[in-house]
A = this chain, B = another copy of it.
Amino acid sequence: MHSDLDTQLVEALRGRGQRVTPQRLVIHRALRALDTHASAEEVLAAVDDRLPGVSLPTVYATLELLSELGFALRVGPAGGRVLFDPRLDDHGHLVCSRCGRVEDIDALDTGPALAAARRRGFTHARAGLVVTGVCGPCGDAA
């Protein structure tokens, strides 16, 4: 069921002359399975079920690698921590400053911003829209 994604990752790794390790496959799967922006620790927790003993530094390194390979998007820091998102399309994030909850937003075209970046001589530009506020439940509590 995961074979397709695994295959893509394996090919990408091979293409860069990098090794295919269980950790990388499992971390990749875990991120896809979570299906939301996840912090390194959340990924570690998800990974630990299937492949115990994985370390946090490895999770960071691997998520960073996945990000470079285009299999994940590094978001943030948002809400005090770096998040990694399996969604690859450009979208924004809605962060509650109270509880740290994060939701997706699809309501903005970041094209103009990227164009402005290019115009200023920036390369490898990527837009990150983060809306911070107080979510419903947290607002009610206060």
Point out the residues of chain B lying under 8 angstroms from A115, CB to CB.
107
Q: Is the CB of B110 within 8 A of A122?
A: no
Q: Is the CB of B122 within 8 A of A112?
A: no
How many chain copies?
2
Q: Is the CB of B129 within 8 A of A113?
A: yes
When A116-B105, A116-B107 are in contact, do A132 and B123 touch as well, CB less than 8 Å? no
Q: In whole angstroms, how far apart are the Cα atoms of A133 and B121 in the complex?
A: 10
> What does the 1/0 interface line of A112-133 toward B look like (CB < 8 Å)?
1111110011111111111111
Q: In whole angstroms, how far apart are the Cα atoms of A115 and B106 in the complex?
A: 11
Q: List 5 additional contacts besides A113-B131, A122-B133, A125-B131; criterion CB under 8 Å.
A: A76-B77, A92-B113, A125-B132, A128-B131, A129-B130
3 tightest Cβ-Cβ pairs between the two chains A and B: A121-B136, A125-B133, A122-B133
A–B Cβ pairs within 8 angstroms, 27 of them: A76-B77, A77-B77, A94-B120, A94-B125, A103-B120, A106-B116, A107-B112, A107-B116, A108-B112, A110-B129, A110-B131, A113-B129, A113-B131, A117-B131, A120-B135, A121-B139, A122-B133, A122-B134, A122-B135, A122-B139, A124-B133, A124-B134, A125-B133, A126-B131, A128-B130, A128-B131, A128-B132
